[in-house]
Amino acid sequence: MPTNTPASEPTMQSQLSVDEARAIAENSECMEVGAISQESTYNPYSKTWWFNLKADKPGCSPACVVDESTQTATVNWRCTGALPPNQDTVTKEQ
C-alpha cells in the first residue's frame, strides 16, 4: 500500500550499509587525518554517512563524510574559526 509521504521527504534508508560506508572511509584520505571512530550518523537529506575522526587540530572536530551516490569519502574539518586560549595570533607581514 503506498504511503502519503511527500516527494520532498528523504528516504531514511541508505543505499549503503554502515559497514560498506566504513570500508569506503577506511580506504580514503580520511585515514591520513586520524582514526575513524565507531560512531556513525546517516544524513538522509545529503545521502551521506558521517564518521568522527580522532585527530588533534585545535578548534576543529573532523569527520569523514561518505557520499553514497559517488561512494567516495572526504574530510570535513568542522572548524569553529575561534582560536583556543593561548594560541599565537597571525603575525603581520613585514
Give the global pTM. 0.76
At position 5, the amino acid (one-letter code) is: T
* 94 band by pLDDT with thresholds 50, 70 and 90: very low
Residue in the block written with cell 565507531: 38
What distance in Å separates the CA atoms of residue 57 and residue 79, rounded to the nearest whole number? 9
DSSP characters over 63-89:
EEEEETTTTEEEEE--B-SPPPTTPPP
pLDDT (tens digit per residue) in 1-49: 444 444 455 677 899 999 999 999 999 999 999 999 999 999 999 999 9
Angle, vertex CA 66, rays to CA 29 and CA 31, nearest 5: 25
